[in-house]
Amino acid sequence: MRASERLAWAAGIVAPGDTDRVLEVGCGHGVLVSLLAARTARGQVVAVDRSATMTTAAQRRNTDAVAQGRVRLVTSTLLGADLGTTPFDVVTSFDVRAFWTPPAPEWDVVRRVLAPGGRVVVAFSVMGPGADERIRTAVRRLAGERGFTEHAVHRAGDLSTPSAAIELRAGHDG
């Protein structure tokens, strides 16, 4: 199955390095996991989804990468996930409302697992006029309460479903 254009766009924004550890929150069917794993030949993608149905689908899609240890799937909420002790270079999500819906304790987990100098990319579909700015404002506020600042905003209005991504970094570099 071909990756959706918006997830391919998001993978390009996340743009992990060859050895990066990436955490994807809300991995769904594992499409973005596949795209990210292809870019991290010597790194690892850890993907979390609260639905066993979704992580099973992601497992099927990424069988080889899982067998090679380049992808690890976790069926859990982010708050309950065992993410180990090795920090992540990048944390990303696509259309995970928890990152812009108060009280958003997920940001506390992200803060804890992100490596010094790491990045967070929160991507989302722009489903109507003004949605982009509303979500961006909410993400900035909720992430800002945990010490993150907006580093860049990316927009893809030319996709079949317009999308945006907010890139954040920890205020004191980690």
Confidence at residue 162, expressed as pLDDT on a 0 to 100 scale: 85
Confidence at residue 3, expressed as pLDDT on a 0 to 100 scale: 58
pLDDT digits (tens, 9 = 90+) for 6-35: 899 999 999 999 999 999 999 999 999 999
Confidence at residue 127, expressed as pLDDT on a 0 to 100 scale: 83
Q: Where do the structural domains in the chain lie, given as residue ranges?
A: 5-170
pLDDT digits (tens, 9 = 90+) for 124-156: 998 888 888 999 999 999 999 999 999 999 998
For 24, what's the count of Cα atoms within 13 Å in the CB-facing half-sphere?
31
Confidence at residue 174, expressed as pLDDT on a 0 to 100 scale: 40
Confidence at residue 30, expressed as pLDDT on a 0 to 100 scale: 95
pLDDT digits (tens, 9 = 90+) for 32-71: 999 999 999 889 999 999 999 999 999 999 999 999 999 9
Has domain 5-170 been given CATH number 3.30.300.30?
A: no
Environment class of 59 (CB within 10 Å of its CB; exposed 0-12, middle 13-18, buried 19+): middle
Q: First CA to last CA across the chain, in angstroms?
A: 37
Confidence at residue 131, expressed as pLDDT on a 0 to 100 scale: 86
User: Who's near 27: CB < 8 A, 6+ residues apart?
Assistant: 33, 47, 48, 49, 54, 55, 58, 73
User: What token pair was written down for 16?
Assistant: 């992990």
Sign of the dihedral through C-alpha 66, 67, 68, 69: positive
pLDDT digits (tens, 9 = 90+) for 83-123: 999 999 999 999 999 999 999 999 999 999 999 999 999 99
More confident residue, 4 or 88: 88
CB 57 within 8 A of CB 85: no
